[in-house]
């Protein structure tokens, strides 16, 4: 049952955003980035640093959501026990 749930997490995805949705990162429940989307207005060659910060913020949000999703799903099976290596 646990193996099936872990497999399902790989098929599910979450989205992290930054800059009011100007940068979007889609990530699987296994924390693999599926896509990166930029609003063309946020791509300013004169301000690459801002774009880098937005990408980092969106990735961090996606990772947090992915971990939360995995924790909720696995917590239902493990009865809330924190098993090293699963989350």
- Per residue in 37-77, pLDDT (tens digit) is 999 999 999 999 999 999 999 999 999 999 999 888 887 77
Percent of the chain scoring above 90 in pLDDT: 67
Mean per-residue pLDDT for 20-47?
95
- The DSSP 8-state label assigned to residue 58 in this structure reads H
Is-contact 18 58, C-beta < 8 A?
yes
CA distance 11 to 53: 28
């Amino acid at each position: 049952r646990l193996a099936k749930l872990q497999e399902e997490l790989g098929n599910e995805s979450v989205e992290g955003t930054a800059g009011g949705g100007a940068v979007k990162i889609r990530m699987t429940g296994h924390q693999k980035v599926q896509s990166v989307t930029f609003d063309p207005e946020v791509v300013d060659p004169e301000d690459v640093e801002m774009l880098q910060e937005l990408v980092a913020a969106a990735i961090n949000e996606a990772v947090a959501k992915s971990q939360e999703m995995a924790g909720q799903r696995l917590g239902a099976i493990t009865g809330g026990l924190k098993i090293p290596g699963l989350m």
